[in-house]
Amino acid sequence: MILPIYTYGQPVLRKVAKDIPNDYPDLEQFINDMYDTLDSSSGIGLAAPQVGQSIRVVVIDLDILKEDLPECEGYRHAFINPHIIEIDHKSEKITMEEGCLSIPGINEKVPRYSRIHVTYLDENLLPHDEWVESYLARVMQHEFDHLEGEMFVDKVSPLRKQLIRNKLRDIMRGRYSASYRTKPARK
């Protein structure tokens, strides 16, 4: 089932999401619904708060990027109770443009470190503890930020934030265009 994507201004996007127990009801169906929602919106990542659930679940599908990034071919994973344990501050800090399904029509350059240490459970509830690098590290940081109540616009320079302030206000008021189903903060 395709779920509506909550947009900027929705309170759930600013809450710290909770870890879930291994016996969380209908988890497999929820993950499938998140994948359906991600596929229908042509995104590469989606966190549970973006569909109105303040729980620590993320889905990432990088296969759409395989032409430009061959290492992304076939990469489609769910992350349950993910946490960034450590950021390698000695790794390269790369600034790239990011967008977000919850902030339609806005893309901004965001600096992120290229190597992080993460823990999570996979879809089979098997634990993982690993260092992640490169583009996947960027996507994980973006999506896992949602679980901490943060969004990529929080990481842009104060000047850029000032310049996009009116666009963010419009999104909060439901004045935006998106090719996917959304749930705005107000109409």
- Tens of pLDDT, residue by residue over 14-33, are 999 999 998 999 999 999 99
pLDDT at 70 (0 to 100): 85
Spatial separation of the C-alpha atoms in residues 124 and 121, rounded to whole Å: 8
- Tens of pLDDT, residue by residue over 66-98, are 888 888 889 999 999 999 999 999 989 999 999
pLDDT at 95 (0 to 100): 95
Token pair 């990027």 in the structure block, residue = 65
Which stretches in the chain have pLDDT values below 70?
187
Spatial separation of the C-alpha atoms in residues 56 and 79, rounded to whole Å: 8
Q: How many residues does the chain have?
A: 187
Spatial separation of the C-alpha atoms in residues 69 and 167, rounded to whole Å: 31
| pTM for the whole structure | 0.94
pLDDT at 187 (0 to 100): 60
Which is catalytic among the residues 92, 143, 148, 150?
Answer: 143
CATH topology (fold) of 5-183: Peptide Deformylase (3.90.45)
- The angle subtended at Cα 141 by Cα 180 and Cα 101, nearest 5°, is 10
pLDDT at 186 (0 to 100): 77
Token pair 């590469």 in the structure block, residue = 44
pLDDT at 155 (0 to 100): 94
143 tagged catalytic = yes
Contact 120, 47 (CB under 8 A): no
